Structure 1
Amino acid sequence: MAFNSNSTRGITCRSRQQMRSCVTESTSSPRLRARLLRSSSLVSASLGALIATAAAPALAAPSHCLTTGTTTLVTCDSNAAQVSITPGTGSLTVNGLTTNAIVYESPQTAGTYNQTVLITGNTVVNNPSYSGLIMQFGTDTSTPPQQIPVFVNADVTVGANVSITSHDGFGAVWVRNDNGGSIDIDNAGTLSSSWTSSTIDATLNGTSNLGPVHIINSGSVTSSNGRGIYADGNYRGATDGVREIVSIINTASGVVNAESAGIRVVNYYGLAELTNAGTVNSTLRQGLVAWSADGDTLITNSGTVTSGNDNAVYAMTEIGKASILNSGSVTAQGDPTLDLAHTALAPIQGMNGLRAGAYTSGDVVISNEESGVVTAIRDAGIRAETPEGTVTVINLGSVSGLYGIVVNSGFGTNQTAATVPTINGVALVGNAGTVNATDLAVDVDATGNFLVNIGTLATTGAVAVQLGNGDSIIANLGTISAGSAAGTAISMGSGNNRLMLFDTSTIIGKVVNASSNNTLELEGSASGTLDLASVSANGAFQGFSTLVKSGTGTWSLIGSGGSLTGTFTVNAGILQVGNGGTTGAIANDVAVAAGASLAFNRADDITYANVISGEGSLIKNGAGMLILTGANTYTGGTIINEGTLQIGNGGTTGSIIGDIVNNAALIFNRSGTYDFPGTISGSGSVTILGGTVNFTGANAFNGPIDVTGSDFILSPGAVSSSPFTIGQGGTIGGTGTIGGLIVQSGGTVSPGYSPGTLTVNGNVSFAAGSTYVVDVTSTAHDLIIATGTATLSGGAVQVVADGSYTAPLSTFVILSATGGVTGSFASVSANYAFLTPALSYDPNNVYLTLARNDVAFASTAVTPNQIATATALETLSYGDAVYDSVLQLTAGNAPIAFSQLSGEVHASAQSVFMEQSSLIRGALNDRLRAA
């Protein structure tokens, strides 16, 4: 059928100006609103060769056009392949036709239409003044035009050898549903468009006011001064309550070259999805754009995208989630000489590589994979924005730009750092790749900022990483560099900030905080070192007050001082003070969690006066001495690997609780009375320097115990396999079993509890100047039993008997050695006035004998009555209870006893002696208690 003046199927505008007014594009929305007005005239300069004003054109071979079903062929020639449709299902196949346009007449009958279009073979469409493939449905022919309830589901396929070229109009391929219906377009051919009018559209264009739109391109799409591929769907979705998906896929073989947006996806109510595996180039605007008014946006790029003075990849939504996944190459070129303030691009906020935003509320996710390379010359490599929501940015690849990664709430135009508000949400930024920037490598501003760096964040500017006000966390496992130590590697705003340094962390430059109550956290599974002097107001780490150790590794603290004033917390691994040298000191309480440890590793002696608490343990490393004077409450045990651990410093403070594994040296230097830890084990030495120590047992410990200036009391039945050395001022007493005994000069052994037996499973030795105190009662006496040898190199035996002793002139074994006795004591003394002790020896024993000396009773008396009484008592003999009791008196107590016995009211001295024998014993007991 030819076009004529009576045709009701012609598509035209009354003039070129009317044609331009047929198409309007809102600057606030990418949705195109097209109106095609039926002309009463057949002549339109806008349509060019599409409209014939003279003789009818020659028809192409009918085999070039094939219709089925409810699709009716109107014409098929070099001017146009034109069809009309009625409700139902139909199709059009165009094969090998060369023509100006392929046109679907807009149906005027309400209903549902299912149309399939196949353009194949070597079909060539070249319209010099309008679109190539024209499918617009849902607008009637009235003036002004009205929408009618026409729903068309269009499925269009453009074959690989097909060429469609348009000039002006709505692009090479234009499919539009004004009322509704689905659109599917699959292009493998070559499409190109250009515009000379003010209305500029896309080369490949699919729009549905209610319904999904899906476009796949595996061919070539070129737009000399417009968009490349454009999909617009579901404008009435919110009104009708229908969510649909609008998507564009550019396959690996797809090539899109455009001046404006290369590929743009718009969905008003639902998911806008864009996938690119091919090549997209925009010389002036965005490369890939996805936008949704109420729904999620997702852009996935594994191809190559280049943009001009705009964002290369841009996912945006008003309400929803905006996401970008990049594993390809993205370049936002930007003209460094262009002054945007004096161009039509002035409203553009930036020329970012990857940009995603949820501009009313919603989450934002940007992921740059390992193979992803993002370059932005005039703005950020990655920019993420939302006023309220969670932002997640992950970089595993390479990012470079004026800025590296920027996260804030800013959507709008001409915003400066001072005017961009903080995100009311959490920003999560993870970098395992490389970010190089000439200004900020990372700039994040949210109420909760979390940055994880495993790769490299570097700048040649003043600051590498900047986190705004809010509670910020930075976990650094890689390198953050400001280029030099004088630069600022990390700047964190006010809030309770945390910097987590892993053992692989490298920071070149300073770390500064706007507040002073921040936490420095040491992490990782290997070893790391922190100089405490660098944590100060003017140091490398500024604004930190507390330290937390996490991770299974060991962090060593060297240096001293700094600004860390709060309690240190060790959650896992080992926090070590010092690293084997002479630096590393803390003045902080330390809370150690179960399974974690606080260690000290110094070559010199240091004192730690603060408190260690928690369920963790203490480890002593290094050759020096660690002196603990705090009231420690930690319960996880103590391990002494090297050097010396000293508890207390001569006063009443200093304590440890729990198991002790002693493989080096342990010293107790406290006053007062305290218990020896029965949970000690190992083979290291123990030294007791002060106070009175009660020992109930330490079965797992076999190391030597030195007692100096202290009383060491064995509880009844106590057992220790340790050898004991009793030094100057030291005393070992009580009963029990020990593993050896060396009594040095100034040391004392006083077995039992007046008296008792000390068993030594080993050797015994007494040095010159040592003392063996032997208690003697009426029923028992002190005794040392040794399974080994006894070596006597002098020393003194001091005999102390109480008033109950009734066996003078008896001989006792005070030391027995199965391995033999060698040497002798240098002296023996007693506290008696009238008995003299004597020692005797055989190969295995030392004996004590108390014999009557030549001191007369009266020689100790003072008054005449005392002398008379003492003289009378002297007439008694051994075996007499009163006489034997007098023998045990000291020179000081004897006169008192004689006075008590000298009363003249008694008729005979004998009866007085018998009656007052208890007084004599009492006098002796008084002496013993006073001794």
Structure 2
Amino acid sequence: MTNTGTINLSGASSIRLPSGGPAFTNAAGGTLNIDSTAGWSFVSNPTTQDGVVDNAGTINVNSGTSWEVAFNQAGTGSLNIAAGKFLSLQNGQSVAGTVNVGTGSTLWVSERHGVNASFSGTTIGGSGTVQVVGGAGPVADFTNVSAPSAKLLVGSGGTANVLAGTTTFAALEITGGTLSGAGTLNVTASLNQSGGSQSGAGITVLASGATGTLGGVSVGRNLTNLGTLDLSGTSISGLFTNDGTVNVTGAVNASGGMQQNAGLTTVPAGQTLGVGGSGLVLAGGTLMGNGMISGNVNNSAGIVAPGASPGILTINGDYTQGASGVLAVDVGGTVAGTEYDQLVVNGNVFLDGNLSTTLFGSYTPLPGDSYTFVSATGTITGSFANVSQPVGLLPPVAAVSPLTGAGELIVSVVSPSLPPAIEPTYNYTVVATEISSEPVENILVPVLGVEGTAGTEESSLEKKPPACS
């Protein structure tokens, strides 16, 4: 059966296709409008669901419905699901061309009958949802799919494979099932994973300006953050790359290592960021917080800023700072953690690069004040090449305590941060140089002198006889 005109499916009607029989073909230029209230607008063998619908024209789904058939759409085809409606593909096979999923509507890949549903080069318009969920184990493959406003939902029993190339969705939600594949999935607005898993050799990218939350889940593929990402109870076994903002709100284990090129990673008090592989490599951006990094940290060109003004950041591993790295500390007193920032390293420290110190509050360094900015259970090797410091702080000297064997990098005050004393001046008298008509005893001339506290100049008036010309 081939449609080249317009068919309106209304009432409670449906189209029945024979098992293994000829397909229903909606040819280019043909239009099928589905307004039927029947639950199944296409039906075939309920077990094999091997009836076939081929679409090269336009199909408009204006009521919620399921298709008990294999569905194939050519590149010229268009499948449009009206706002608030749904289409359940029981045996969707190959969907190219254009799919428009209206606001609040759902394209549901709900079953699998031997062949994965395949979306290749498909443009998905609208802000609705493409859903891969079902107890029958539905599988959907995505290759170079563009869905700039739609959401991909992967739920219990479902598998979404992102194959070669880049597939884009505005939103990704994973509540169960698996996101897998070797391709790149670019998420431009929001990413939320509360269940299920991610796996495969590909990359999930949270784009700039997007927000994401991963809570109590496993990510077994590479993860790149360019937006703002909150992590809690999350395991990441692929390479985790951050160029945006990462907030560690619960224990995180990045066993595949973490690379930060820009942006900010915050590890608050009581939280731990675990890093395996090459550890945490700071090639840019800032690492800050009062929490703990479990693993090695290589600060090649970033900023490590312990605390939250002030506080202590702990590294259970080695800390290496390269020539372009910076350790930035705030100083508001002489007590580590509560009045100045400190980096505690349960391992060895290798220093180069820069130390930046900033005073805060009303604190003024006094002679004899000192600060242990770095404390290590191992050894401290090297020193800072450059020190940016408030007035009065001596460049740091690495010293090893003979009592504990621990390394401490101590900065001491060698002079108070006070303004220089004003040099005292001698009294002097300015005398009139002209004969005045006033009586001698009434001529007043200014006298500047030092009275009271040394260095304080005051002005007084004193009677003097006039000088003769």
> Shorter-normalised TM-score: what interval?
0.5 to 0.7
Q: 1:450 to 1:826 in 2, by over 3 A?
A: same
CA contact (8 A) 2:79 2:99 kept: no
Percent identical across equivalent pairs? Answer: 22
Tell me the equivalent position of 2:341. 782
How far apart, CA to CA, are the structure 2 residues paired with 1:513 and 1:840?
Answer: 70
1:810 Cα deviation after fit: 4.5
Residue 680 in 1 paired to residue 234 in 2?
yes
How far apart, CA to CA, are the structure 2 residues paired with 1:851 and 1:569?
Answer: 64
CA contact (8 A) 1:550 1:571 kept: yes
CA contact (8 A) 2:59 2:78 kept: yes
CA contact (8 A) 1:628 1:655 kept: no
CA contact (8 A) 1:705 1:722 kept: yes
How far apart, CA to CA, are the structure 2 residues paired with 1:602 and 1:800?
Answer: 50
Alignment of 1:356-435 (within 5 A): none
How far apart, CA to CA, are the structure 1 residues paired with 2:224 and 2:106?
Answer: 31
Q: Cα deviations across residues 744-770 of structure 1 (Å, max 9, x unaligned)?
A: 333111212333222211121111111
- Which runs of 5 or more residues in structure 2 are unaligned? 2-8, 426-448, 457-469
- Look up the equivalent residue of 1:715 and give its one-letter code: P
1:823 Cα deviation after fit: 3.2
CA contact (8 A) 1:632 1:656 kept: yes
Q: Cα deviations across residues 268-298 of structure 1 (Å, max 9, x unaligned)?
A: xxxxxxxxxxxxxxxxxxxxxxxxxxxxxxx
Tell me the equivalent position of 1:601. 162
How far apart, CA to CA, are the structure 2 residues paired with 1:460 and 1:799?
Answer: 75
Tell me the equivalent position of 2:182. 623
Alignment of 1:794-809 (within 5 A): 794-802=352-360, 803-804=362-363, 806-809=365-368
SS in structure 1 opposite 2:97? helix
Q: 1:492 to 1:829 in 2, by over 3 A?
A: closer
Q: 1:766 to 1:547 in 2, by over 3 A?
A: same
Tell me the equivalent position of 1:715. 268
Q: Cα deviations across residues 882-918 of structure 1 (Å, max 9, x unaligned)?
A: xxxxxxxxxxxxxxxxxxxxxx99942599xxxxxxx
Residue 586 in 1 paired to residue 153 in 2?
no
Residue 845 in 1 paired to residue 407 in 2?
yes
1:551 Cα deviation after fit: 2.0
CA contact (8 A) 2:214 2:234 kept: no
- Look up the equivalent residue of 1:689 and give its one-letter code: D
Aligned match of 2:201 in 639, 642, 665?
Answer: 642
Tell me the equivalent position of 2:111. 551
Residue 817 in 1 paired to residue 379 in 2?
no
CA contact (8 A) 1:480 1:507 kept: no
- Look up the equivalent residue of 1:707 and give its one-letter code: Q
Aligned match of 2:224 in 667, 670, 677?
Answer: 667
1:601 Cα deviation after fit: 0.7
Q: Cα deviations across residues 78-101 of structure 1 (Å, max 9, x unaligned)?
A: xxxxxxxxxxxxxxxxxxxxxxxx
Tell me the equivalent position of 1:690. 244
Tell me the equivalent position of 2:88. 521
Q: 1:475 to 1:830 in 2, by over 3 A?
A: same
How far apart, CA to CA, are the structure 1 residues paired with 2:295 and 2:207?
Answer: 26
Residue 756 in 1 paired to residue 316 in 2?
no
What's the TM-score, normalizing by structure 2? Answer: 0.66
How far apart, CA to CA, are the structure 1 residues paired with 2:179 and 2:154?
Answer: 17
How far apart, CA to CA, are the structure 1 residues paired with 2:20 and 2:56?
Answer: 12
How far apart, CA to CA, are the structure 1 residues paired with 2:24 and 2:315?
Answer: 75
Q: 1:516 to 1:759 in 2, by over 3 A?
A: closer
- Look up the equivalent residue of 2:267 and give its one-letter code: L
Q: 1:499 to 1:491 in 2, by over 3 A?
A: farther
- Look up the equivalent residue of 1:590 and give its one-letter code: K
Alignment of 1:199-214 (within 5 A): none
Tell me the equivalent position of 2:4. none
How far apart, CA to CA, are the structure 1 residues paired with 2:347 and 2:423?
Answer: 53
How far apart, CA to CA, are the structure 1 residues paired with 2:416 and 2:59?
Answer: 94
CA contact (8 A) 2:124 2:145 kept: no
CA contact (8 A) 1:795 1:826 kept: yes
1:475 Cα deviation after fit: 3.5
CA contact (8 A) 1:493 1:515 kept: yes
CA contact (8 A) 1:773 1:797 kept: yes
Structure ranking higher in helix proportion: 1
How far apart, CA to CA, are the structure 2 residues paired with 1:569 and 1:867?
Answer: 78
Tell me the equivalent position of 1:740. 295
Q: 1:910 to 1:533 in 2, by over 3 A?
A: same
How far apart, CA to CA, are the structure 1 residues paired with 2:293 and 2:79?
Answer: 62
Residue 706 in 1 paired to residue 259 in 2?
yes
1:594 Cα deviation after fit: 5.0
What's the TM-score, normalizing by structure 1? Answer: 0.36
Tell me the equivalent position of 2:280. 725
Q: 1:740 to 1:564 in 2, by over 3 A?
A: closer
Aligned match of 1:561 in 123, 145, 151?
Answer: 123
1:790 Cα deviation after fit: 2.0
Q: Cα deviations across residues 637-675 of structure 1 (Å, max 9, x unaligned)?
A: 5525332222231x2x333454441222222222xxx56
CA contact (8 A) 1:577 1:585 kept: no
- Look up the equivalent residue of 1:530 and give its one-letter code: S
Alignment of 1:211-290 (within 5 A): none
Tell me the equivalent position of 1:448. 12
CA contact (8 A) 1:599 1:620 kept: yes
Tell me the equivalent position of 1:199. none
1:771 Cα deviation after fit: 0.9
Q: 1:646 to 1:467 in 2, by over 3 A?
A: closer
- Which structure has the bigger radius of gyration? 1
Q: 1:868 to 1:720 in 2, by over 3 A?
A: same
CA contact (8 A) 2:259 2:283 kept: no
CA contact (8 A) 1:717 1:736 kept: yes
Q: 1:709 to 1:490 in 2, by over 3 A?
A: closer
How far apart, CA to CA, are the structure 2 residues paired with 1:636 and 1:835?
Answer: 52
Relative contact order, higher structure (CA 8 A, sep 6+) = 2
CA contact (8 A) 2:125 2:149 kept: no
Q: 1:558 to 1:490 in 2, by over 3 A?
A: closer
1:480 Cα deviation after fit: 4.7
CA contact (8 A) 1:818 1:844 kept: yes
CA contact (8 A) 2:132 2:155 kept: no
- Look up the equivalent residue of 2:395 and give its one-letter code: P
1:730 Cα deviation after fit: 1.4
1:726 Cα deviation after fit: 4.9
How far apart, CA to CA, are the structure 2 residues paired with 1:462 and 1:678?
Answer: 49
Q: How many residues align?
A: 399
How far apart, CA to CA, are the structure 2 residues paired with 1:508 and 1:675?
Answer: 37
How far apart, CA to CA, are the structure 2 residues paired with 1:741 and 1:515?
Answer: 52
How far apart, CA to CA, are the structure 1 residues paired with 2:172 and 2:89?
Answer: 19
- Which runs of 5 or more residues in structure 1 are unaligned? 1-436, 438-444, 537-544, 859-865, 872-903, 912-931
- Look up the equivalent residue of 2:293 and give its one-letter code: I
Tell me the equivalent position of 1:533. 97
Q: Cα deviations across residues 549-582 of structure 1 (Å, max 9, x unaligned)?
A: 1126752311223788854344424563525xxx
CA contact (8 A) 1:570 1:590 kept: no
Q: 1:618 to 1:805 in 2, by over 3 A?
A: farther
Q: Cα deviations across residues 431-453 of structure 1 (Å, max 9, x unaligned)?
A: xxxxxx9xxxxxxx984235665
Alignment of 1:450-529 (within 5 A): 450=14, 455-458=19-22, 470-471=36-37, 473-476=41-44, 477=48, 479-480=50-51, 496=63, 498=65, 500=67, 505=70, 520-523=87-90, 529=93
